[in-house]
Amino acid sequence: MPVESRVIRLDQSIESWEYSDLPQDWVEWCPVCGWDSGSTCLTTERYGLSVGVSTCAECGFVYFNPQISPEAYLAFYASGKYRELVSGHHGRLINAETIKPEQEAYGKALCQFIAEEIRPKPSPWSLILDVGGSTGTVSRQFPSEDRIVVDPASAEIPHGAIEGTLELTEKMRGVADLVLCCQMIDHVPEPSAFLIDAMGCMTQGGYLWIDILDYATTREIKIDHPSNFTRPVLERLVWGVGLTPIADRAVDNHIGLLCKRST
């Protein structure tokens, strides 16, 4: 699908999206710690949809319940609906082109932060895997011999990158000395399962960067964030899958952890 080039009114965008017709499944166990899901409360999310939300009594993770399938979420991002809703909400065009300057600044700052935390400094990285890497702008800010960008919105990703999926394929196993999960885990309905997959793509001595929009600060429910993290929940997630944070960084409402394998 071509990148949307006009702003569609939010109410029209919501009206034309048959979200309530999508099959939804009850999530029985907390996708971060495995605790019983308990009860949900109904709420109206940012764009006006009525959704159920569970808050884990054990770890505090906040997630949609019931929830559309991971495949339905991939279709949501791939179809351009996600950009359309965000543009309608803000009343200005937000697409692969307009977000590039912001991604460039983010990538430059992140590259510098990671380089300062690592001894010896990697120069360049051998292979960067940017998962949910959108236009590839962020990963291009890092010096690297090779890079792979994986993103469900295939219309947005650069020529030559692997397209159209969040599936991490066999040939990505154990090859990346830096895995980037930039502001994307909030968009993933099964964060633990996803992160185990992403971790499997690291080399033995490799690094993984992951950051979240801090729900403790925003307290905002929106359909494009089926998963809502705070710092303690993010830490629980990474430790739980076998990663050890070695540095952390907070910018605006985002909190990130630079991690290595625990063993």
Q: Is 34 or 160 the residue whose CB approaches Zn ion more closely?
A: 34
- Binding range to Zn ion, per CB under 5 A, among 30-38, 123-131, 142-150, 158-166: 30-38
CB crowding 191-209: b at 16 or more within 10 Å, else e? bbebbebbbebbeeebbbb
Applying CB under 5 A, does 58 fall inside the site for Zn ion? yes
Q: Is 3 or 216 the residue whose CB approaches Zn ion more closely?
A: 216
Interface residue with Zn ion, options 11, 15, 16, 35 (CB under 5 A): 35
Q: Nearest approach, Cβ of 65 to Zn ion (angstroms)?
A: 12
- Binding range to Zn ion, per CB under 5 A, among 20-28, 57-65, 90-98, 149-157: 57-65
Interface residue with Zn ion, options 14, 27, 54, 61 (CB under 5 A): 61
Applying CB under 5 A, does 145 fall inside the site for Zn ion? no
- Binding range to Zn ion, per CB under 5 A, among 29-37, 97-105, 121-129, 208-216: 29-37
Interface residue with Zn ion, options 33, 75, 155, 247 (CB under 5 A): 33
Q: Nearest approach, Cβ of 77 to Zn ion (angstroms)?
A: 25
Q: Is 62 or 176 the residue whose CB approaches Zn ion more closely?
A: 62
Applying CB under 5 A, does 150 fall inside the site for Zn ion? no
Q: Nearest approach, Cβ of 257 to Zn ion (angstroms)?
A: 18
CB of 177 closer than 8 Å to CB of 183: no
Q: Which residues bind Zn ion (CB under 5 A)?
A: 30, 32-33, 35, 56, 58-59, 61
